[in-house]
Amino acid sequence: MESKNWYFKAANTDPFIRIKGKTTGREFFLRQYTYGVLVPNPNHPLSVVSVSNNSISIDLWVGCAWQCRYCHVQGTYQDLVDEGAMPKNPRRRNPFSVEQILDELIKHPFFVPDKTVISIGTASTEPFAPGPVTDSTFEIMDAFIRRGLHNPFWIVTKAGIPKERKSDFARIVKATRGLMLSLCWADNPTTIEPVRNNRFRNAEEAKEAGATIAWYMRPIVSEWSGNPERIEMMMLWVKKHYGQVIDIIVPGGLRWTEGIEYGLTEIHNLPMPNIPRDDNVKFLPQKLIDTIISLSKEYFPGIPVYFKSSCALTKMLNIPSVTSVQAFARQACEMSLCPTVQRQICAQSPIYRMTVERAQQVLDRLGIPATVISWDLQRGLVTQPELNKSTYAIRQTIFKHLAMD
């Protein structure tokens, strides 16, 4: 078993590759491996596991038939295996079995049994793509359950819910702390999302099985689908056909990354929308936020509306915010339509009781070689050496574990 220091060094490595775009000839710096990967080495089982904003993501596949033009995976050089583009037919990323991957993951200090949210396919492919990809998604969840682990699962999908899997969903919900299915639809044109299908297909079965159903209204972009008339049309359609299915609504804009710009402009020869070049930060104009809030109150009264994915997961789990949104993203917290009961739960977050000593315990448990100098909600965590220059995987893991303790 590797040492904690070995795990830290691996996750704190983020190599880049410089490539030249075929369309414009511009140079782009793309990550060689998945954003937030735990081990940037294709010969290691954890090369398919990464830290995401709210979860640890397991990504067995390279390639996706959906080919969404803005896909953030296009910022990963290892996934651009088809003449500089993502292949349409998924193939396995490495030769390790699900059991071998889990063997390594449960040893990793960043993983917490029964607590860490596990997402599937968020950094690789459509997790409910027909055939072996869907089979592997259920295989991953069942592998956790066989080990007696109760970690919650989160799946973002554009394929709709697999048919005749109600009993499987029920078994997973019963054996875990929860299953969230985020159905991603923002009615973007075919030039942006080529696959046209009903994203809410079979959602009733999953809901009846106990899964939490979120309408992931993303990405909303002014140049694509982001106008009040289009948003109202979406609301009306979803309410008419699936109004009783939706538990939570999570709107969001497009983020800028060098990889997303590379995919849009170089691979697909499309213009980059006019959004701030603020790395990995989603942008949604305030006017559209106000429109979404107003229409949600009208068409989905009583349904929570969150502008952070972590808030949806937090609501499902009935715990304080898994990323301390109420403390560190107050604007997003305050403009959300969140039940009073959940706000009261978040007000009891351990982040408000954090001390230098407890923060140091978190770093020690994670194997992060740094000394905590000070801690407060205004300045955050001050350490020596400074951790703000560490990789995203390190910084986001600390952030989540401080909220967890």
The long-range contacts involving 270-275, CB below 8 angstroms and separated by at least 24 positions, are 270/69, 270/191, 270/192, 271/223, 273/221, 273/222, 273/223, 273/224, 274/222, 274/223, 275/221
Is position 70 within any domain?
A: yes
Domain-embedded: residue 342: no
Residues 8, 139, single domain; the answer is: yes
Within a domain: residue 340? no
Distance CA 359, CA 372 (A): 7
Whether 198 and 264 share a structural domain: yes
395 burial level (CB within 10 Å; 0-12, 13-18, 19+): middle
By the 8 A CB rule, do 160 and 198 touch? yes
Q: What is the pLDDT of residue 1?
A: 67
> The whole model's pTM is what?
0.96
Same-domain pairing of 214 and 153: yes
Query: In terms of residue numbers, what domain contains 92?
Result: 4-323
Is residue 365 domain-shared with residue 309, that is, in the same domain?
Answer: no
The per-residue pLDDT for range 346-372, each reduced to its tens digit, is 999 999 999 999 999 999 999 999 999
Final residue before a domain boundary, out of 277, 303, 323: 323
Residue 126 lies in a domain: yes
Question: Which pLDDT score, from 0 to 100, does residue 239 have?
Answer: 97
Within a domain: 341:
no
Q: Does 99 lie in the same domain as 153? A: yes
The answer to whether residue 213 sits within a structural domain is yes
Answer whether residue 13 is part of any domain.
yes
CATH number of the CATH domain containing 163: 3.20.20.70
Widest distance between CA atoms in the chain: 56
> Looking at the structure, do residues 301 and 388 belong to the same domain, yes or no?
no
What's the structural domain count of the chain?
A: 2
CA-to-CA distance for 240 and 225, rounded, in angstroms? 20
* 269 and 376 co-located in one domain: no
> Residue 23 falls within a domain, yes or no?
yes
- Residues 256 and 181 reside in one and the same domain: yes
232 and 362 share one domain: no
* C-beta separation of 356 from 375 below 8 A: yes
Residue stretches of the chain with pLDDT short of 50:
none
* Same domain, residue pair 314 and 386: no
Nearest to 160 by CA among 127, 118, 111, 186: 127
Same domain, 190 and 241: yes
Same domain, 123 and 78: yes
